[in-house]
């Protein structure tokens, strides 16, 4: 089985969409997604600087749109004809919902627009941020995070936990890191997946009745517990609640391993989730689709797994 995974906020870099615009139809698709998102995704993906695309209101729609563009270029057949499971980290779960048909592209962009704008507004109330804690004993790491008054917002793997809270709390953790661990501040503008984001949850709950979720065409994993969501309504509920509760990517990887995943493709802006898979999913072949030049390797991995699936039937 193959996993197609979609990265979260902080994975974007200036100009990362430039090479994608060379592919037929991409400019038109991005223009349509820009209209739905209410921002110029083409400009932000090609010419905007790092500080501009760090803004939550820009970064989140940009990342979702990038994943949809990459998926369109990668997939030559309907997703439900392939032996795949789909998952996304944080905002990437919206991309995953669109790929699986759980949300239409328009609904996905409407959702991420509201999510991004209201999370940005919530983040502006108090200066907050996030920091990755890499290494160290798991109990020591959680104890240090708690001692600093922070929340373990992303449980990414056994060796990486992301803490979130006020900038003063982040500074306290940097000054007193857990034993044998490094604390790395992240390029995100808020304490996502914590109580600081409660206003955004309320806004998304108000938006929900205008959306039309469907049962996923292929298995879609929830960030809450790594389990396969059972319906479109459950997927939407998970997406809304995710804003203020921790992302359990470690559990998503455990589920993928238990499902027999042997290959993993990360959509653009790729790199983070393939890195976690290399450390947390032993023996799994990975392809990070960073530019169109990576599509051939991804298609080869996808075709190889599809062929082996046919042979086993």
- Can you give the three-state secondary structure of the chain, one letter per residue? CEEEEECCCCCCCCCCCHHHHHCCCHHHHHHHHHHHHCCCHHHHHHCCCHHHHHCHHHHHHHHHHHHHHHHHHHCCCCHHHCCEEEEECCCHHHHHHHHCCCCCHHHHHHHHHHHHHHHHHHHHHCCEEEEEEEECCHHHHHHHHHHCCCEEEEEEECCEEEEEEEHHHHHHHHHCCCCCEEEEECCCCCCCCCHHHHHHHHHHHHHHHHCCCCCCCCCEECCCCCCECCCHHHHHHHHHHHCCCCECHHHHHHHHHHCCCCEEEECCCCCHHHHHHHHHCCCCEEEECCCHHHHHHHHHHHHHHHHHHHHHC
In the chain, the N- to C-terminal Cα span, in Å, equals: 13
**Which candidate, 172, 166, 184, 168, places its Cα nearest to that of 144?**
172
Average pLDDT over residues 235-241: 96
193 classed as catalytic: yes
Spatial distance between the Cα atoms of 313 and 24, rounded to a whole number of angstroms: 36
pLDDT band at 271 (very low <50, low <70, confident <90, very high): very high
- Reported pTM: 0.93
44 classed as catalytic: no
Residues 6 or more apart in contact with residue 3 via CB below 8 angstroms: 84, 85, 86, 87, 256, 261, 263, 264, 265, 277, 284
- pLDDT: which is higher, 302 or 109: 109
What is the per-residue pLDDT across 162-190, written as a single tens digit (0 to 9) for each?
A: 999 999 999 999 999 999 999 999 877 78
Q: Is the pLDDT of residue 66 over 70?
A: yes
Single out the catalytic residue among 90, 222, 238, 244: 90
Rg of the chain over Cα atoms, rounded to whole angstroms, equals 18
Contact 267, 258 (CB under 8 A): no
Single out the catalytic residue among 193, 196, 222, 244: 193
pLDDT at residue 78, as a whole number: 84
Q: Is the pLDDT of residue 312 over 70?
A: no
**Which candidate, 94, 132, 118, places its Cα nearest to that of 197?**
118
Burial label for 201, CB within 10 Å (0-12, 13-18, 19+), is buried
% pLDDT > 70, the chain: 98
pLDDT at residue 311, as a whole number: 64
Task: Give the domains, in start order, of the chain with CATH numbers.
Answer: 2-123+194-312 (3.40.366.10), 125-185 (3.30.70.250)
Q: Within 13 Å of residue 84, how many CA atoms lie on the same side as its CB?
A: 27
């Amino acid at each position: 089985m193959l996993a197609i995974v979609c990265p979260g906020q902080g994975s974007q870099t200036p100009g990362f969409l430039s090479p994608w615009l060379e592919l037929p139809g991409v400019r038109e698709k991005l223009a349509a997604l820009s209209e739905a998102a209410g921002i110029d995704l083409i400009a932000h993906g090609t010419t905007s600087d790092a500080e501009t695309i760090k803004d939550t209101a820009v970064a989140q729609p940009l990342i979702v749109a990038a994943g949809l563009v990459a998926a369109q270029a990668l997939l030559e057949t309907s997703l439900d004809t392939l032996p795949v499971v789909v998952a996304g980290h944080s905002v990437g779960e919206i991309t995953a919902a669109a790929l699986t048909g759980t949300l239409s592209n328009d609904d996905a962009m409407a959702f991420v627009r509201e999510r991004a704008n209201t999370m940005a507004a919530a983040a502006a109330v108090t200066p907050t941020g996030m920091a990755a804690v890499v290494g160290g004993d798991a109990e020591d790491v959680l104890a240090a995070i708690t001692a600093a008054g922070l929340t373990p917002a992303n449980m990414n793997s056994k060796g990486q936990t992301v803490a979130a809270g006020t900038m003063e709390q982040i500074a306290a953790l940097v000054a007193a890191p857990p034993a044998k661990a490094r604390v790395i501040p992240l390029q995100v503008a808020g304490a996502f997946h914590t109580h600081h984001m409660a206003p955004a949850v309320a806004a998304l709950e108000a938006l929900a009745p205008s959306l039309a979720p469907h049962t996923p065409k292929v298995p879609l994993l929830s960030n809450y517990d790594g389990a396969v969501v059972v319906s479109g309504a459950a997927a939407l509920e998970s997406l809304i609640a995710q804003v203020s509760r921790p992302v359990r990517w470690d559990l998503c990887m455990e589920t993928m391993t238990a499902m027999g995943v042997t290959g993993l493709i990360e959509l653009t802006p790729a790199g983070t989730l393939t890195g976690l898979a290399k450390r947390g999913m032993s023996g799994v072949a990975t392809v990070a689709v960073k530019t169109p030049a990576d599509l051939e390797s991804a298609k080869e991995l996808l075709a190889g797994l599809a062929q082996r699936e046919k042979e086993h039937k």
